[in-house]
Chains A and B, each alone.
Chain A
């Protein structure tokens, strides 16, 4: 469909800004593996500190790229399926709020005033503008939801008996999850952290802050993942040359994500004090619940791909696997999707291990964890995001892809790098290698008393993977900006492939309305989180003052230094 210039401009900005920032984000990813493998025995390189780089890596790749893309892809999906553009003023408002937030956070991180990593656990104190930046990014990403709900209601009034398009349903569900879970982190940031970092309140309850963060933190990973799921359900089968195996399965999976995404956060706090084992076990069980929609998706997508392969003339049980358009330059999205899915098999399995209650003791906060989540967020999520960003941009601008053959192999290069990297990290984690640690100074420094020779092979493997991924990432940046600088060759339009359903079930009213699911979602959240918060409240002692990253003495509170 044809779209307005303003719409295009906003989408281009929301796609291109995070891809430009990825240069910094991915560079710091590479640097982590370099320090960790003991190639560098120093605290900083090129004037950027290890932990500063780690903060930039996490914030840019996991928060900025994902949030900007989710908003841009949401706008594109709504406009495409409803044949109507969202409100321009609100689109701009959302964009400027997010961009201001990113600039504030980026400035504080680059000045070295916010090296607190993307989880920003107190009582390590960041610059107040870092917290404000995070809050603005989040609030900016709320704005579109309200406009999309308005569009949805208007459409529903005209089509009361038509199934809501699956992609629209997924987008709305994703942003409802996002809105609900970010309420907790908005509270953490605005009520607890900003006044405390300014010195207006003396102390902060660290356990409460951590619990609120993880109320948000696990749902966050579904906010990353659902745009990729929407692509797998509604775009991938078409690109593969087949059909979506079941439309209803997609709806069921999405609604299950709606109710199970948030009330599982305590599985990130299995090793924390103040929360009882009973509450932790309950969250563990609910986490298994959230595995169900992923199992459903694994089956449905595999069945859709098998259908596509057989349509192309495949025979036998596994013949369809050989008949898919792996390296087809014109269908490059397929490569990005399939590589993401292959990584996600390992990401999913390791995720189930992490959530398995006492099994978590083996791997919590070790290198295993980044090994796991790089196969989710830097697997299907990252590949889906960058592949789709390139696709949307090229179609909307009417430009041809720059270096199409290179583009077709990027996802495979990335996948190979990631598999090597994650293998090294997971293995290292099982040997007790900590995550988030500048190993090069101590544990991977032969001159240190802390030297651990048993971590040399694992960190070296991770380094190899990191180098390959860095190459793939930079090639993508070249392809993306190369495409931007190309000349327009055809009329640009908003075009998203739409997969038909093989089993196109009749509309089931239960799976086409939000209210019962929202009610279930809220009930389960209350059941899971009221006991957790009561625990935290009951078992926590005094709150903590502020600490800078380089000093064991707390900062004096401004209110105390006022002269009598």
Chain B
């Protein structure tokens, strides 16, 4: 089977581009620690909203999404905190998006989602529900308030 020389070139370019993309993904994953949410087996512990302070800059947040609020709704942490978010839903599917930190998770009934974020800069970070969850969807928002130089 003879392949046209232009087609051959285009195939080589295509494969190289895809190879470059895969390399970049893996490189960014290692260098910037960007990854998808972590997958945890279901555990009832996470279905109670809670903020656990592990030490002065390490927090655990058990976030529970429901129609149409996040609990806890306001999360205060000091600058430089590392926060583990554990997410579940009490009812329908909800979204959990902190756009400024590229945190992006789905809250699904009967399952636990998890991600870790470091808040280096002070400010108010919106947590926006970005999955349609019924008539009140557009009002569903929470906030992370990063303002204390030291632990409260």
**Interface set of A (CB-CB < 8 Å, partner B):** 43, 49, 51, 54, 117, 121, 123-124, 205-207, 210, 246, 249, 269-277, 280, 284-285, 288, 291-292, 295-296, 299-300, 303, 352, 356-362, 364-366, 431-432, 434-439, 441-443, 450, 452, 503, 505, 508, 535, 538-544, 547-552, 554
Given the interface pairs A274-B108, A362-B104, the reply to whether A549 lies near B131 with Cβ below 8 Å is: no
Q: B130 at the A/B interface (Cβ < 8 Å)?
A: yes
Given the interface pairs A51-B135, A365-B130, the reply to whether A552 lies near B104 with Cβ below 8 Å is: no
Alpha-carbon distance A352/B22, docked complex (angstroms): 11
Chain A residues within an 8 Å CB radius of B138: 437-439, 441-443
Given the interface pairs A450-B139, A550-B134, A552-B66, the reply to whether A273 lies near B18 with Cβ below 8 Å is: no
CB distance from B12 to the nearest CB of A (A): 11
Stretch from B53-61, B74-82, B88-96, B144-152 forming part of the interface with A? B88-96
17 contacts between A and B (CB under 8 A): A271-B106, A271-B113, A273-B105, A273-B113, A277-B38, A360-B104, A365-B104, A365-B130, A365-B131, A366-B130, A434-B129, A435-B130, A436-B132, A437-B130, A437-B137, A438-B137, A543-B109
A246 and B36 form a contact (CB under 8 A): no
Which of B18, B36, B39, B138 has the most A CB atoms < 10 Å from its CB? B138
Chain A residues within an 8 Å CB radius of B44: 541
Nearest opposing residue in chain B for A508, CB measure: B1
CB distance from A513 to the nearest CB of B (A): 16
Alpha-carbon distance A288/B97, docked complex (angstroms): 26
A540 and B110 form a contact (CB under 8 A): yes
Chain B residues within an 8 Å CB radius of A273: 37, 39-40, 87-88, 105-106, 108, 111-114
* Supplied contacts A121-B93, A296-B10, A365-B131, 8 more A-B pairs, CB within 8 Å: A273-B108, A288-B22, A292-B14, A295-B10, A295-B14, A359-B25, A542-B109, A544-B110
B39 and A124 form a contact (CB under 8 A): no
Chain B residues within an 8 Å CB radius of A551: 67, 134
* Contact pick for A299, options B10, B37, B114, B128, CB 8 Å: B10
A365 and B95 form a contact (CB under 8 A): yes
B133 and A124 form a contact (CB under 8 A): yes
Alpha-carbon distance A291/B22, docked complex (angstroms): 13
CB distance from A41 to the nearest CB of B (A): 11
Q: Scoring B residues 1 to 33 as 1 if CB is less than 8 Å from chain A, else 0, what string do you get?
A: 100101100110011011001100100110000
Alpha-carbon distance A308/B93, docked complex (angstroms): 51
A361 and B91 form a contact (CB under 8 A): no
Alpha-carbon distance A196/B60, docked complex (angstroms): 35
Nearest opposing residue in chain B for A124, CB measure: B92
Given the interface pairs A361-B103, A365-B131, A437-B138, the reply to whether A280 lies near B36 with Cβ below 8 Å is: yes
CB distance from B111 to the nearest CB of A (A): 4
B111 and A541 form a contact (CB under 8 A): yes
Alpha-carbon distance A206/B15, docked complex (angstroms): 37
Given the interface pairs A270-B36, A272-B108, the reply to whether A123 lies near B91 with Cβ below 8 Å is: yes
Q: B34 at the A/B interface (Cβ < 8 Å)?
A: yes
B104 and A271 form a contact (CB under 8 A): yes
- Sort chain B's interface into a size bin: 35 or more
Alpha-carbon distance A539/B17, docked complex (angstroms): 36
Chain A residues within an 8 Å CB radius of B93: 121, 123-124, 206, 210
CB distance from A502 to the nearest CB of B (A): 9
Alpha-carbon distance A462/B48, docked complex (angstroms): 40
Alpha-carbon distance A181/B115, docked complex (angstroms): 31
A539 and B126 form a contact (CB under 8 A): no
Alpha-carbon distance A361/B87, docked complex (angstroms): 16
Chain A residues within an 8 Å CB radius of B36: 270-271, 277, 280, 357-358, 360-361
* Contact pick for A210, options B10, B15, B37, B108, CB 8 Å: B108
Given the interface pairs A541-B42, A542-B110, the reply to whether A117 lies near B25 with Cβ below 8 Å is: no
Alpha-carbon distance A358/B29, docked complex (angstroms): 8
Alpha-carbon distance A246/B8, docked complex (angstroms): 12
Given the interface pairs A270-B36, A361-B104, the reply to whether A296 lies near B14 with Cβ below 8 Å is: yes
* Contact pick for A437, options B1, B18, B88, B132, CB 8 Å: B132
Which of B110, B113, B141 has the most A CB atoms < 10 Å from its CB? B110
Given the interface pairs A288-B22, A540-B42, the reply to whether A117 lies near B110 with Cβ below 8 Å is: no
Alpha-carbon distance A88/B41, docked complex (angstroms): 53
Chain B residues within an 8 Å CB radius of A280: 36
B39 and A535 form a contact (CB under 8 A): yes
CB distance from A345 to the nearest CB of B (A): 14
CB distance from A527 to the nearest CB of B (A): 18
Chain B residues within an 8 Å CB radius of A271: 36-37, 95, 104-106, 113
Chain A residues within an 8 Å CB radius of B134: 124, 547-551
Chain A residues within an 8 Å CB radius of B120: none
Which of B67, B132, B137 has the most A CB atoms < 10 Å from its CB? B132
CB distance from B142 to the nearest CB of A (A): 11
Nearest opposing residue in chain B for A543, CB measure: B110
A358 and B28 form a contact (CB under 8 A): yes
A206 and B25 form a contact (CB under 8 A): no
Chain B residues within an 8 Å CB radius of A295: 10, 14, 17
A123 and B109 form a contact (CB under 8 A): yes
A441 and B91 form a contact (CB under 8 A): no
B100 and A432 form a contact (CB under 8 A): yes
Alpha-carbon distance A508/B43, docked complex (angstroms): 55
CB distance from B55 to the nearest CB of A (A): 27
B25 and A357 form a contact (CB under 8 A): yes
Chain A residues within an 8 Å CB radius of B17: 295
B37 and A206 form a contact (CB under 8 A): no
Chain B residues within an 8 Å CB radius of A442: 138-139, 141
